[in-house]
Amino acid sequence: MTAASTSTASPARKIGWLRSPSLVAGGIISATITSAALLSFLWTPYPPLAMNMAQRFQPPSLQHVFGTDQFGRDVLSLLMTGAQSSLAVGVVAVAIGLVIGSALGLIASARGGWIDEIIMRMCDFLFAFPAVLCAVMLAAALGAGMGNAMVAIGVYNIPIFARIVRGAAAGVWVREFVLAARTSGKSSTHIAIEHVLPNILDIIVVQATISFATAILAEAALSYLGLGTQPPTPSWGRMLHESQVFLSRAPYLSIFPGLTIVTMVLGINLLGDGLRDLLDPRYARER
């Protein structure tokens, strides 16, 4: 991999994604779970919320691949539908962090001076509130719910994007093409969007995948605590919470939702690693 990518730079880059096992594996895992979530809008093996007391606590079988829960609901169908909540929270939370954080980072890097100082101190301050703590406050003030989980995880992501974008953008603002754009009379906002942003997009994309993975984990934890997705909407964290009472009676009820979370997070992280190697070949060589 290393030798190939250095000696024959352009062909290696073209087929690079095939040579990166983590990119391929991560891509397949993420695509599969995302497809399952999308498919669940149209079809699930059983209606996810349909209770069937005669079929309670069925261990995994051909009829119910992952078994049934305490209400006789099909676990696979619940997991497929639950993926919707996980992905929705992940997408919105990362979007909040990415948009606000990147904007703050760009402003800080463009202006410098006291504006930069204020924005960065604000970010330090936000770091004092981990996502769970933020969600706890919002739940106490406004009641628990999926929307608050999105905001809490999103707020947690703001300083992460702000710092990364500021760091990466600082190097772009001093490049010749930015100076050229300045002399041609373009405004800072214009330059930021047209010239700086495209040059740091790869770093933002990689951070977005990493943040997406942590958002899935945070959503699961919040739903486990009852501070995220509310019943009856199925969610992975909530399923784990409900299964804990039946841990000795029906351990599979705890195993499958947990394995789904691990697989999803692992998949996204692998995708992120693969993307980073692909977009930043320097990093691949260092490893």
Residue 128, interface with other proteins (CB under 8 A)? Answer: yes
Q: 212 CB contacts (<8 Å, ≥6 apart)?
A: 90, 91, 94, 268
Q: Which residues within the stretch 182-211 sit at the binding site for other proteins (CB under 8 A)?
A: none
**Which of these segments, 11-19, 99-107, 138-146, 193-201, binds other proteins (CB under 8 A)?**
138-146
Residue type, 195: H
**Token pair belonging to 229:** 């997705």
Residue 215, interface with other proteins (CB under 8 A)? Answer: no
Residue closer to other proteins by CB (options 184, 248) is 248
Residue closer to other proteins by CB (options 158, 172) is 158
Whether the CA torsion 215, 218, 224, 229 is positive or negative: it is negative
Say how many residues touch other proteins, by CB under 8 A. Answer: 42
CB of 121 to other proteins, least distance (A): 7
State the Rg of the chain over Cα: 22
CB of 178 to other proteins, least distance (A): 30
Distance CA 236, CA 255 (A): 11
Instruction: List the one residue from 11, 47, 112, 130 that touches other proteins (CB under 8 A).
Output: 130
Distance CA 231, CA 211 (A): 26
Residue 132, interface with other proteins (CB under 8 A)? Answer: yes
Residue type, 286: E
CB of 236 to other proteins, least distance (A): 9
DSSP string, 2-24: HHHHHHTHHHHHHTHHHH-HHHH
Structural element, H or E, at residue 255? helix 252-279
CB of 255 to other proteins, least distance (A): 8
Say if residues 209 and 271 touch (Cβ distance below 8 Å): yes
Residue 137, interface with other proteins (CB under 8 A)? Answer: yes
Residues forming contacts to other proteins in the complex (CB under 8 A) are 121, 124-125, 127-133, 136-142, 144, 213, 217, 220-221, 224-225, 227, 237, 240, 243-244, 247-248, 251, 254, 257-258, 261-263, 265-266, 269-270
